[in-house]
A and B are shown apart, each in its own frame.
Chain A
């Protein structure tokens, strides 16, 4: 710690301290070993994005090819299709899926409490605990020609003949977005509700005396108090734009909707795991992570400008 002491003495002190602390150090060491093996070795493994790796190679014996893999990616039509789908679905999820939990949490917050509030909360959290495989299976059942959706639409007279919209590629983006919102919107309210419960109630009392309507109170008290947590959530959502849900795609994608369903992650999975093109798939993955980090940093910059130069991260 003390930088004025000579190097040798500092090392010596460190060793003595370390030996004295061996018992507590022995608790941390397994974690360090874990991180080195399972986190840092794969980060080193990213170098195969710059190599031509085949099954017979090891990580070190594969020849370097520089940026060749990236050059191929840029001229790959299927990659760009996946990019378009990822961005399309992510922006729909961002535009709708980001706002709904905020509205929902305000609505729940405005309930006067009691049984109904509890029931609404319990039910709205539940879908979060279903896996995408389970939900995918449910969606397939709901959309099937004898399933619930067709039944409702037939009864309402919207359609005259059952259709399976999961086979309609043009509707896939909406299916992906809306099913994601159905699953996660309620869960998204928890954090907002927790922050809202900390808003000083005297604000509302003062507003009431001034004759502010309920909508006005929400607009001028609740939402401004939520601004920091909303921006934090927005930053995290923006940085995850390119990594949209792999499980969801794998279970909902079929031969009919593939053109609109393939996202970058499922493309990486298909190129790497099914076709064995490890270098190519790693290069795609690396490119996505770099763009994600750039998005994270720029979103943080923008939001700190909007929040009076206070960085949220």
Chain B
């Protein structure tokens, strides 16, 4: 045991028992952040703030929500919305935060791609980030199902049906996941368990890992400049604050983070107060009906690009059925961004505008994903300027896959050879 002395203050009492000072230094006061980063690096802390909002508003909702196929709809739309004081506030905060979390995740991710922060020692940060995106998707989907409205029900029907694409055991697997022959009460209660218990625990664990994975390689910066963080940190500690290229996380960068979180919160509560409808699909205010499909099923906006890739294929290739190809493409899209550190064959870490090829690739990827999202929302049987939506969706899906597995390696190999 360490040599415990009579403490001189309350802080000292804890420090002797929990090494509070050391912990604080590692986590904040001597955790070095490059000076040359912009507001785009504040997205991480905004996401953390959003997760706290989701957690707290979720606790408030779960006190009145009833995970029962007969009671769920009314417990949300009557009890929480009408009877519980401020119940509407928690629901709208929860719904909007879920939606906006994905907006910020996309900004966070595309910042990483633009500045190529996924490379040279930062692979684990990237992979754990994409893993968080995937688990957040599962969390969002399992939560979307809980109000047991028409869109909730049919989203669950379609998504669980996806597992039917697994060879041989598909049909049995779908029944096993649902706990019934169709989506019904057992499905609701197990998704409730996933949404409020298992997945949040996993998310918290992966968030902790995501933070931890930053400690050694540190965050990238606007110029992709390689910084010796130990050396620059020592400079800072020895008083050469101006000369040093880094600042401590606290109070240096967190001060800036708090400023952006404040601005973001004003925007967030504006949405909650005046513009909550975009996260509330009108079809979902109709109770679930297993015998009537809504005329047009679509997911929330943040899944649209993947959804469009899922339905983008309409012809069979040899033994592969169109639906299987769609399913494979969809699964690939889900994990594709996690492969970037290995598909990028160059060792250059520099912002996209420093390399013409990569710059064009980046914006084509972004525009393609936006177009995929737009067409994901449109009915599959419509047409734009005389071209069938199905064909446009197919081209956009092929383009996405091509950009990731063909163009990215090509461009980055050229970059490596051109140096």
A and B assemble together: no
Which A residues contact B (CB, under 8 angstroms)?
none
Which B residues contact A (CB, under 8 angstroms)?
none
